[in-house]
Amino acid sequence: MERSLTMVALFAALIAVLGLFPSFMLFTGVPISAQSFGVMLCGAVLGARKGALAVLLFLLLVALGLPLLAGGRGGLGAFVGPTSGFLYGFPVAAFVTGWIAQNWRGVSLTISAAAGALIGGVGVLYAFGAAGMMLVIGLSLPEAVAALAAFIPGDIIKAVIAGVVTGAIYRARPGFVLTR
Amino acid sequence: MLAMTLEQPTWLHHWPAGLKMAVMAAAMVAFLPVTEPVVIGALVAATAALYASLGTPALRRGLRLLRPLLLVLAVIMAWHLIIGAPRQGAVICLRILGLVALANLVTLTTRLDDMTAVLERLLSPFRRLGLNTAAVSLALALVIRCVPVLTQKGNALMEAWRARSPRRTGFQIAVPLVLVALDDADHLAEALRARGGVARPD
């Protein structure tokens, strides 16, 4: 019980810390933040339920007024802006990532975690992000997808790296990874 | 870790947090159905006047909080100019600006303690359904405590990397950073257990 609580708390902190690192500029020319990387890791390491809880805990702190989002942003304003869809998608993304990672046992954790990160951390997350943009900005679905398209290649790479990182963590601390 | 609350107190700081959130929510709903640029412009101006009434520090901080949004709004406005719908673009941009400014106003004028008190009140009915509110409070405190610690260790890892490699740090520090987080979680759990564990719901 204690270990569950501290793991959830530490991973919530991890999402914040990863968001504080400066964004990377990939060959696509579009900056990618490491924050959704943290969300993917929550699901891949903690599993569906605890991963989602960690993300919810993180979002709760942002709502309470802590500048934990990438770029030092935070507060209630982040939940009503044009990119707020992504925030609402974070916990779902972690849940789906964890669900795939813990249930797809036939392959190594690296592969199932990467698959989970791709489907949950990119697919589901961008669905929420696009929906948010459609609601707030009034875009149509194809327009929202077109606006987000530039960011997707970078996030696909992120998801694969999340899988590799999860596999490495499992080798280093097998007892801590809850998806195996 | 510093919250986003404005240090200089304003008259809005004295309002109860729950009341501010309710009023903000109602005001935000007022923004939603508006389609006339003039009307929504007036609402945004009223919000700006509200900020101004809080004093210069509040106005300046409020503008700073809105700065990241400006680029996005410029893109949205440019898009609407291209497709020949400038009025719709203006309404959308002003609405986003007004809504985010209102939401930020609550965050700016409410202390973390008051926000957590509202949270506790919101969660208390769920205690009967089995939610362990003590665990939630503990978890919140733990995250707040651990973000600076992890950031420091992350910076140490980046420095160690820079000392040995001319390349920029990339995702390579993710593995040691997560291991640090896992080990910290383990130690903290032991410390909790030594103190009698997490309080169970009554």
CA-nearest of A71, A52, A73 to A8 is A52
Residue by residue, pLDDT tens for chain A (180 residues) are: 889 999 999 999 999 998 877 665 544 445 567 889 999 999 999 999 999 999 999 999 999 999 999 888 889 999 998 989 999 999 999 999 999 999 999 999 999 999 999 999 999 999 999 999 999 988 889 989 998 898 898 899 999 999 999 999 999 999 889 988
State how far residue A1 is from chain B, nearest Cα, in angstroms: 8
Q: Which residue of A has its CA nearest to B176?
A: A169
Report how far residue A45's alpha carbon sits from residue A30's, in angstroms, rounded to the nearest whole number.
Answer: 28
How confident is the model at residue A166, as a pLDDT?
95
What is residue A69's three-state secondary structure?
strand
- Show residues of chain B in contact with A13, CB under 8 Å: 142-143, 146-147, 149-150, 181
pLDDT, chain B, mean:
89
Q: Do A82 and B72 touch (CB under 8 A)?
A: yes
pTM, two decimals, is 0.92
How confident is the model at residue A28, as a pLDDT?
43
Place of tokens 């359904």: B129
DSSP classification of residue B198: S
> A151 is written with which tokens?
């960011």
> A18 is written with which tokens?
């990863």
Q: Do B186 and A81 touch (CB under 8 A)?
A: no
CA-nearest of B128, B133, B136, B138 to B193 is B138
Of A117-121, B133-137, B141-145, the poorest mean pLDDT is in B133-137
Angle value at C-alpha A35, between A67 and A6, nearest 5 degrees: 80
Length of chain A: 180
How confident is the model at residue B113, as a pLDDT?
87
> A62 is written with which tokens?
């942002």
How confident is the model at residue B134, as a pLDDT?
86
Q: Is the ipTM of this structure higher than 0.85?
A: yes
